[in-house]
Amino acid sequence: MAEVSPGERAQLILVGGIVVAFALVAIAMLLNSALYTENLATRGIGPEADRAGDLASFAERGGTRVLVTENSVEYESWTAALFNGTVSVAGMGELAEPLRFSQNGGLSTIAVNGTRRGAGLVQTNGSRNFTSEGSTGDPGNWTLAETAGIRAFRTTVNQSGPSLATDPSRAFTIRVQGTDGGEWSARIYANGSDVEVNASGTVCRSDQQTPTINWTGGTLGSCDFPFGVTESGTSLTGPYTVSFANGSRAGGTYELFVSNESVDDVHDENVAEPGSDASPRWYHAVYSISLDVEYEEGAVTYRTRMRVAPDEPDETRPEP
Amino acid sequence: MTIVPSETGQSVDGRGSNARGQSYVLEAIGASVIVLAAVVFALQATAVTPLSVSTANQHIQTQERVTADTVLEHAARNGTLQGAVLHWNPDNRTFWDASAEGYLGRHPDNGFGQVLNRTFGRSNVATNVHVVSVGPSGTSNTQMIYQGIPSESAVTATHTLVLLDEDNLTAPGYEQHTLNESNATDSFYVRDTMTNHSVYTVVEVRLTVWRK
């Protein structure tokens, strides 16, 4: 070590001590900054945002369940259908408000912003074929509705009822035509003991005795097919005309809901009136409900508007 | 002033040596005080460290809350959450195959219970589940699953469900029993809060999780 005088040694110790002190302080501040930054960056918003999301999810799922239940009631007037649908969905939202507030101190609102009239077309007699109920025109080839929207269209084919055609060209056919001339069609026919469906070129098969075909969902069991598009994959342009052909070549039950803006949307000359037990028939329903959802808790304010239309595909959604 | 020769032969002033020695001591004390103060400041300044209990807890709590939220969302989407809420024995007025206090120390033998087992059963995480509803007579809180007193770091996730008059119970042997029928005999744990309409009531399922 270099020779230093006692005076210089003391000063060296002093300066060295100050340098060490500054180094320790600098390290402490750097470490603190890094850890605090990481802590802030990984800190979540808190459960309030999750509860806002839960409310929106509840509004959509709950509203869907309520609307499906209300639409199973065959109302004989739109006044009754819209009133009961609105009150039930709004009531569901009102029941959630005190629950949110008492448990978490959150303010929630689910309000009905608007409704769209619709019509349910059903055949509940499973042993009947798919002809019309009207006394005019060709009962095997008939139009169900001319409508701006189609949703929740399902058919259950009863192989114990009217015999299915084995020749696809003579098979029962469902057609949805758009205003631009585009057409989606689906044929139901027998292939051995199986039921085969050809929807716009996609073929699905089921070995069940009474298979259920979800048209708007595009499924027959685990098989998927397109709905509302042409064979080339082009989407249809609404309003849409829904019709049956060769209705005597298949039988079973079906239901579908169409948007109904005028009294002529449903071709009621081909189906029985609301309140009737005959098949097929139509009745008044709610096609869709628009909801305003709001939630406030702490620093979180959440607002959204959503539309509830159960089992409605994008392809046949009405224009706003 | 007496000049005393030093052993090295240099002349030394006695009073000057004394003064320098005092200043050296003072400098040493000052240096040590500064170093000590710096060390103390450094130790006090590092409030948040990887070993800090609060930071570790916060990460774990966030992770558990997200997991609980996901479990409830998944169960609601596939219908098992509603199935669990309706897994009720109206004759015993308990959840199916459970005591009056619910499933104690275990998960129910239904779809929701299987999801809870798969998610939390192997990771040493305890769960409590309550079904809460608000009606004309106040708040009702029904215990479905109880696995102990939650710790301070427990988190709670919630999911809201609507029950309809025509919903069927899911307990074996009671699948034809609707909530409407159960309400008529006062045999369900929640009363119909919206009579004359298709909605029965709205309930909130609260899932509390914590590390054992």
pLDDT score for A32 = 80
| Chain B residue with the nearest C-alpha to that of A26 | B42
User: Reading across the β-sheet that carries A219-220, which strands appear in turn?
Assistant: A223-224, A219-220, A212-214, A150-157, A252-259, A107-123, A281-297, A300-308
**Averaged pLDDT for residues B81-106:** 94
**Do A286 and A152 touch, CB atoms closer than 8 A?**
no
pLDDT score for A204 = 96
Confidence check: pLDDT of B59 > 60 = yes
Distance CA A250, CA A165 (A): 7
B204: nearest CB among A18, A84, A99: A99
Task: Confirm or reject contact between A135 and chain B (CB < 8 A).
Answer: no
Task: Look at B160 and A66 and tell me if their CB atoms are within 8 Å.
Answer: no
ipTM for the predicted complex comes to: 0.80
Report the percent of chain A where pLDDT is more than 90: 63
The pLDDT tens digits of the residues spanning A37-93 come to 877 776 666 778 888 888 999 999 999 999 999 999 999 998 999 999 999 999 999
The pLDDT tens digits of the residues spanning A91-137 come to 999 999 888 777 778 889 999 999 999 999 999 999 999 999 877 78
Q: Which of A3-7, A17-21, A181-185, B114-118 has the lowest mean pLDDT?
A: A3-7
Q: Which residues 24-83 of A have a C-beta within 8 angstroms of B? A: 24-25, 27-29, 31-32, 35-36, 39, 42-44, 47, 50-51, 54-55, 57-58, 61-62, 65-66, 69-70, 73
pLDDT score for B72 = 95
B202: nearest CB among A17, A28, A99: A99
Q: Is A241 helix (H, G, I), strand (E, B) or coil?
A: strand
Task: Look at A66 and B198 and tell me if their CB atoms are within 8 Å.
Answer: yes
Task: Confirm or reject contact between B104 and chain A (CB < 8 A).
Answer: no
| Chain A residue with the nearest C-alpha to that of B70 | A50
Q: Residue B3 — pLDDT band, cuts 50, 70, 90?
A: very low
pLDDT score for A309 = 95
Q: Residue A264 — pLDDT band, cuts 50, 70, 90?
A: low
Give which of A235, A194, A242, A199 is closest to A217, Cα–Cα: A199
- The alpha carbon of residue B179 is apart from the nearest alpha carbon of chain A, in Å, by 14
> Cβ contacts of residue B178 below 8 Å, gap of 6+?
B165, B166, B167, B168, B169
pLDDT score for A137 = 83
| Rg (alpha carbons) of chain B, rounded to whole number | 35
Our CA angle for B71, B74, B76, nearest 5°, is 105
Task: Look at B37 and A66 and tell me if their CB atoms are within 8 Å.
Answer: no
Question: Which of B25, B158, B191, B193 best tests the A interface by mutation, with the highest count of A CBs <10 A?
Answer: B158
- Helix orientation angle between A47-71 and B53-77, rounded to the nearest 10 degrees: 10
Query: Chains A, B: CB contacts under 8 A, how many?
Result: 142
Contacts of A22 in chain B (CB under 8 A): 38
Task: Look at A57 and B76 and tell me if their CB atoms are within 8 Å.
Answer: yes
Q: Which residues 5-64 of B have a C-beta within 8 angstroms of A? A: 20, 23-24, 27-28, 30-32, 34-35, 37-39, 41-43, 45-50, 55, 58-59, 62
| Chain B residue with the nearest C-alpha to that of A45 | B62
Q: Residue B174 — pLDDT band, cuts 50, 70, 90?
A: very high
Beta pairing class for A223-224 and A183-191: unpaired
Task: Look at A102 and B55 and tell me if their CB atoms are within 8 Å.
Answer: no
pLDDT score for B2 = 46
Task: Look at B197 and A99 and tell me if their CB atoms are within 8 Å.
Answer: no
Confidence check: pLDDT of B6 > 50 = no
A95: nearest CB among B49, B62, B201: B201
pLDDT score for B212 = 82
The pLDDT tens digits of the residues spanning A159-179 come to 888 888 999 999 999 999 999
Distance CA B97, CA B108 (A): 8
The pLDDT tens digits of the residues spanning A271-312 come to 999 999 999 999 999 999 999 999 998 888 999 999 999 999
Confidence check: pLDDT of B15 > 70 = no
**Averaged pLDDT for residues B170-176:** 94
Distance CA B5, CA B11 (A): 5
Task: Confirm or reject contact between A13 and chain B (CB < 8 A).
Answer: yes
Task: Look at A10 and B164 and tell me if their CB atoms are within 8 Å.
Answer: no
Confidence check: pLDDT of B186 > 80 = yes
pLDDT score for A26 = 84
**Averaged pLDDT for residues A236-244:** 92
Task: Look at A58 and B161 and tell me if their CB atoms are within 8 Å.
Answer: yes
pLDDT score for A44 = 61
| Chain B residue with the nearest C-alpha to that of A7 | B24
Question: Which of B61, B142, B198 best tests the A interface by mutation, with the highest count of A CBs <10 A?
Answer: B198
**Averaged pLDDT for residues B62-80:** 92
pLDDT score for B8 = 47
- Output the six-digit token pair for A81: 């259908």
Please return the burial class of B172, using the count of CB atoms within 10 Å of its CB with bins 0-12, 13-18 and 19+: exposed
Please return the burial class of B199, using the count of CB atoms within 10 Å of its CB with bins 0-12, 13-18 and 19+: buried
Q: Can you count the helices (H) and strands (E) in chain A?
A: 3, 14
**Averaged pLDDT for residues A202-230:** 95
